[in-house]
Amino acid sequence: MDIDDNQATLDALDALSSLLPALQQTPLSYKLHYQYLRLVKTAGLDDQLTPARETLVANLAAADDIWAPLLQAKVEEFQFQPTITPDSFSAIDLLFEQAEADYLSIPILKMHLEFLVDQHALAHQPSNKMYNGLSELCSNDNISQKLRAISRKASVHFSRGHEVWDARIEWEESLLPSLTGNARTSRLAALQEEFLERLQIPHTKLSQTFQNYSSFVSSHFPPEVYEETLVAANKVKQDASKVVDEMERFEHNLKTLQDYSSYLTWATSPKFEKPKWRGKGQSQKSKEIPPDPKVAVPLYERAITEAAKKRGDALSNEDQAAAEGPLAEAEAWLAVFWDGLIGFVKEHTPGKETEMPILERAVRSVPSNGNIIASLLRSTYMYINETDPDYDSDYGSDAEGEDDMEDGYSVKGSNEKPPGLHFAYRKAINSGILDAAGITAVTLPRASYEEDKLYAVGYHGGDERAFQRMKKILKTGIEMNREKGGDPSLKLEKFLTKLFMVSIEVPLEEDARELWKDAVKFYKTSYSAFSQYTRLLIQQREYEEASKVFKDAANPSRNLDYPQALWDEWVQFEELYRGFGPVEFAMMRVRLDETELKKLFRDCGEIREVKITKLANEVVALVEFMDKEGVPAALTKDKKRLQGNEIAVHLAWRSTLYITNFPEKADDEWIRSTFAAYGTLFDVRWPSKKFKSTRRFCYVQYVSPDAAKAALELNGKEMEPGHPMNVYISDPQRKKERTDANIEKRELYVAGLPRNTSQGDLETLFKECGNIKGIRLALDENGKAKGYAFVEFEQETSALQALAFNNHEFKKRRIAVTLADPHAPSRRAQPASGLSRKQDLKSRSVRIKNIPAGTQEAVLQQAIEKVATGVKKVELFEQNWQAVVEFNTIADAGRFLLLPNGFKYEGVELQLSEEGPTSSKPPAAASTTSFVPRAAGKPKAGLGFKKQTISAVAKSTSGKATSTSGQSQTQQASGSSSSGKDQDAFRAMLQGR
């Protein structure tokens, strides 16, 4: 051993001595266990590897990288025993079963099968004296039963299950020659039944399984029953064959965890069976077929296993700095997959027997995920505690006292495990690996249990011990929360407030005030904390104190996250409870005269509009000029004084961000919450989706450019695994990839495609022509190609070159390739309702009235989508502040109309009505914020059509026609290729330029 190796060994030994206490304190930390394993290897302590792996699997779920060497070591240890005992055999067998319970691992299942087959063979050697006591454990029937259980676990694996199943059947058939009479007949019947069961399970070797069954029947059954038996088997496998064809589309592209996510989306979505034709005028609606748990659940298990493998690979990496990214991604996907599996099972196969094993496995796999632990706690309370005959609802007598209560209840004996709910809670809360949100998630169901006990005997003077336990649980959760940085949701504080104010006969008003007084000291910039505190004070009629808290919160130095919201509450409070003087004091800092602003900028150019927004700590004005020549002169007003205050003037786009590729779930509230951390928000603007439903971008405008620059740190940050968010300063001088300029010359319409066409097929066909920006392949409800697609290239020359594929033979069919015509009408199928298209559209639409002025169309759509399903399009008419919502089905529209509590938007009750016949279309000049994007209609097949040119101009207030895209009249006259308002013009308009 050289000097460097010797030093590395010494360093590893030193690190081990300091790591051991941490591992004992935090046994649920994957990072510490893997660090321990790496140090043991570096120190050359090979004899400690097996104990280290045993410690890990005793606390956490493990993947093959841990289980395979551990099982191998245990099997070798077992084989070198002088005598094989039933206990030692059962111990190895149980260890295999424990490994198989963690994840769906084909290698582990194969190891288990091979171990059992080997032991059976050894036990049946007459000369082998080591197995004298194992005749029953290693009997044909017992081993066959164990192998059947193993093969059933493996059989659900679509692509590799056959590796175990085929080996097991081969072993079973090897026993047949030694069987006679009824034993042989019953074994053949059992194997035939298992073959038929296997043929009903979708798997990649389904055809081979059918061939194996054919050989099995021909070898062991009379020839006269062969044809009849095979015909029946062929019928049995038909449904599985259809699913196999669908699944293989995904299997070929299964490379990343994101691919598994797409695969699962298909597996967990309902399918639709087309109705049979019953003659003219007798069409029926498509039949909805729910997702098949036999397909979805195994796929979830495979995805979970793959994510766990990637986590293990990252944790085993010697360069932990380089492994941080892959580790975070694997852990995120692992939580997503477990959460999806739990939700799917709860929805489609609910019950104690199906839910509890999955929840227990999930908690072993992701012990730091508070939401999954909370789900286990709720299900434990629901399914176990209520039916457990040994369940003690009081958890100890009063004599034990609170000194023995670690979390508000006593443990009856050092070796006695408390009931499931409380044991799982204490294990999680003391694990040391939960973040603040996780602590909240775990504490809530535990406190809710005690609240139920209060309800059981009635609030106001209920179970005092339950009250004290609940109080201690919540206070402990709040303290631990703040040690982790705090939970901005304040759920535990709100829960404890309810306990103080509602759950007992005499409300503990002072305790509640002290709780929120401490909360606003900790959450110094939280609007929510201050709002809750002031509401409590108002409820208790402590008006003077409430006014002081409002004034303190509104201090500019506090930098509150949502100052405008608190400011509005303050003004409303002063109006309702305090009178004229305080109201004037609260509002005096938000006064600004529009006339003075116009006077300040009057020498810069003609002003179109002045928009003044009153924020909590300052007033912001957006000044829009009739033309861009006024902007440079306006910038010279920077640092001038107005009403005795120095003002800051800057270009609107410098404080405006263009944001895209954010999570699908993100809405206006999410965007505001995420970006408010970097400065005061002036506005968030969303594009309309009525022309293109897939649009996913927005603009965030700050009060200052510095805030926008600070928020750029979010560019590239993965807000969900594999999807880095894009954040840019929205500079109108730079054309980014997000613009749709000249899309008509870069996009092709491809028609006549076969049903089995995939996106990869089109990419392979056209990639030789140049870089492809995107492919949109139209699919039906079963995931099959409808026959047409749009292919967008990065360069016009690539699209022109690809036109050579027109009339090209593709998968034995001739395809049509043309430039996409944005003005071609789409050819729609007859509505499933049986109505005419016009009447069907009206039946699927709902009109909304009484919409607050200034509402954004996209934000209104987000609000509707939170309470309704099947929203297809929302169109807002600003001239009368009404909207029409188009739904996918008549049923979706009906459910929206019949919302039990109506539909409120920004506190306003909106009026919903069926969309009846209209005498005319809405006025053409409906909105100043409307624009003409690229149309989504299908173009006409064939070449040689001539595109129409759309000239889009807006009337200025002086009556002069000015280009809405900011181009000069000369540019338009010279034949600019811009057709209508492009998206750059839309951004310019939104930024107020």
| Ramachandran angles phi, psi of 847, nearest 5° | -95, 140
| DSSP label of 574 | I
- 8 A C-beta contact, residue 206 and residue 170: no
Amino acid identity of residue 336, one-letter, is: V
Asked whether the predicted pLDDT for residue 45 surpasses 80, the reply is yes
Give the model's confidence band at 841: pLDDT under 50 very low, under 70 low, under 90 confident, else very high.
confident
- pLDDT (tens digit, 9 = 90+) per residue, 742-763? 556 788 889 989 988 988 889 8
User: Residue 85 — pLDDT band, cuts 50, 70, 90?
Assistant: confident
Residue 187: is its pLDDT beyond 50?
yes
601 touches 623 (CB < 8 A): yes
What's the rounded mean pLDDT across residues 177-191?
91
- Assigned token pair, 85: 């005992």
**DSSP letters for 670-689:** HHHHHHGGGS-EEEEE----
Q: What band does 690 get if pLDDT is binned at 50, 70 and 90? A: low
CB 298 within 8 A of CB 156: yes
pLDDT band at 800 (very low <50, low <70, confident <90, very high): confident
* Mean of pLDDT values over 118-138: 79
Angle between helices 509-522 and 527-539 (to 10 degrees): 160
Report which of residues 96 and 649 the model is more confident about: 96
Q: Tens digits of per-residue pLDDT, 868-885?
A: 888 888 888 888 889 999
* Separation CA 250–CA 296 (nearest Å): 13
Q: For every residue of 549-572, which 3-state class applies, written as one string?
A: HHHHHCCHHHCCCCHHHHHHHHHH
Print burial letters for 718-742: b (CB count within 10 Å at least 16), e (below 16).
eeebeeebbbbbbebeeeeeeebee
CB atoms closer than 10 angstroms to residue 622: 15
* Beta bridge partners of residue 729, listed in sequence order: 657
Cβ atoms of 976 and 950 closer than 8 Å: no
CB proximity list for 874: less than 8 A, separation 6 or greater: 689, 690, 857, 858, 860, 861, 864, 883, 884, 885, 886
362 closest CA partner among 349, 348, 347, 344: 344
Q: What is the pTM of this model?
A: 0.61
Determine the pLDDT at residue 695. Answer: 64
Torsion sign over Cα 583, 588, 564, 560: negative
pLDDT at position 858: 85
Residue 215 has pLDDT above 90, yes or no: yes
Contact 692, 743 (CB under 8 A): no
* Closest CA relative to residue 242, chosen from 193, 200, 196, 212: 200
Q: Which two tokens stand for residue 627?
A: 């033309």
Long-range interactions of 800-805: CB distance < 8 A, separation 24+:
801/769, 801/770, 802/748, 802/766, 802/769, 802/770, 803/748, 803/943, 805/765, 805/766
| 674-701 burial: b if 16+ Cβ within 10 Å, else e | bbbebbbbbbbbbbbbbbeeebeebbbb
Q: Is 388 helix (H, G, I), strand (E, B) or coil?
A: coil
- Nearest-Å Rg of the Cα atoms of the chain is 35
Higher pLDDT, 127 or 893: 893
The H or E element that residue 736 is part of is none
Tokens of 305: 């296993």
Quote the DSSP letter at residue 236: H
Burial class of residue 975, CB neighbours in 10 A (0-12, 13-18, 19+): exposed
Q: How distant is the alpha carbon of residue 45 from its chain centre?
A: 43
For residues 638 and 88, the model is more confident at 88
Within 10 angstroms of residue 152's Cβ, the number of other Cβ atoms is 17
Phi, psi of 833 (to 5 degrees): -70, -20
In the DSSP assignment, the letter for residue 52 is H
Please write the tens of the pLDDT for every residue from 454-512.
766 555 445 677 788 889 999 999 999 999 999 989 999 999 998 888 766 678 899 99
- Three-state SS sequence of 281-331: CCCCCCEEECCCHHHHHHHHHHHHHHHHHHHHHHHHCCCHHHHHHHHHHHH
CB distance 69 to 49 below 8 Å: yes
Instruction: Using pLDDT thresholds of 50, 70 and 90, give the confidence band for residue 821.
Output: low
Residue 374 pLDDT greater than 80, yes or no: yes
Structure-block tokens of residue 565: 């919201």
Quote the CA–CA distance of 251 and 259 in Å, as a whole number.
Answer: 9
Residue 535 has pLDDT above 80, yes or no: yes
Q: What is the pLDDT of residue 834?
A: 64
Q: Please tell me the predicted confidence (pLDDT) of residue 781.
A: 73
* Three-state DSSP class for residue 84: coil
Choose the most confident range, by mean pLDDT, from 353-362, 416-425, 790-799: 353-362
Average pLDDT rounded to a whole number, residues 83-96: 91
Question: What's the Cα-to-Cα distance from 137 to each of 85, 124, 134, 142, 200, rounded to whole Å?
Answer: 10, 11, 5, 6, 31
Q: SS3 of 620, please?
A: strand
Give percent of the chain above pLDDT 70. 78
- Per DSSP, the chain holds a count of helices (H) and strands (E) of 38, 25
3-state secondary structure at position 820:
coil
User: Hey, is 659 helix, strand or coil?
Assistant: strand
Contact yes or no for 752/813 (Cβ under 8 A): yes
Token duo for residue 841: 């559209």
Amino acid at the residue 648: A
Burial of 527 (0-12, 13-18, 19+ CB in 10 A): buried
Q: What is the pLDDT of residue 798?
A: 87
Mean pLDDT for 941-959 is 32
**Spatial CA neighbour of 698 closest among 715, 716, 686, 681:** 686
- Condensed to tens digits (0 to 9), the pLDDT of residues 775-787 reads 888 887 777 888 8
Average pLDDT of the residues in 408-431: 59
What is the length of the chain?
Answer: 993
pLDDT, one tens digit per residue, over 886-927 is 988 888 888 888 887 788 888 788 888 887 543 333 333 333
Q: How far is CA 564 from CA 117, 553, 676, in A?
A: 72, 11, 12
Q: Over range 853-862, report the average pLDDT.
A: 85
Burial of 550 (0-12, 13-18, 19+ CB in 10 A): buried
Q: What's the CA gap between 631 and 637, in Å, rounded? A: 10
Find the angle CA(651)-CA(653)-CA(654) to the nearest 5 degrees: 70
pLDDT of the residue at 590: 37
Q: Enter the DSSP assignment of 383.
A: I
Token readout for 932 is 């003409």
In angstroms, the Cα distances linking 706 to 641, 711, 823 are 21, 9, 43
Taking each helix axis as running N to C, give the angle between helix 106-123 and helix 86-102, from 0 to 180 degrees, rounded to the nearest 10: 160
Confidence of residue 519 (pLDDT cuts 50, 70, 90): very high
Q: Which residues of 892-911 are buried (b: 16+ CB within 10 A; e: fewer)?
A: bbeebeeeeeebebeeeebe
Q: Which two tokens stand for residue 10?
A: 């010494």
Q: Is the pLDDT of residue 629 over 80?
A: no
CB contact at 8 A, 488 and 444: no
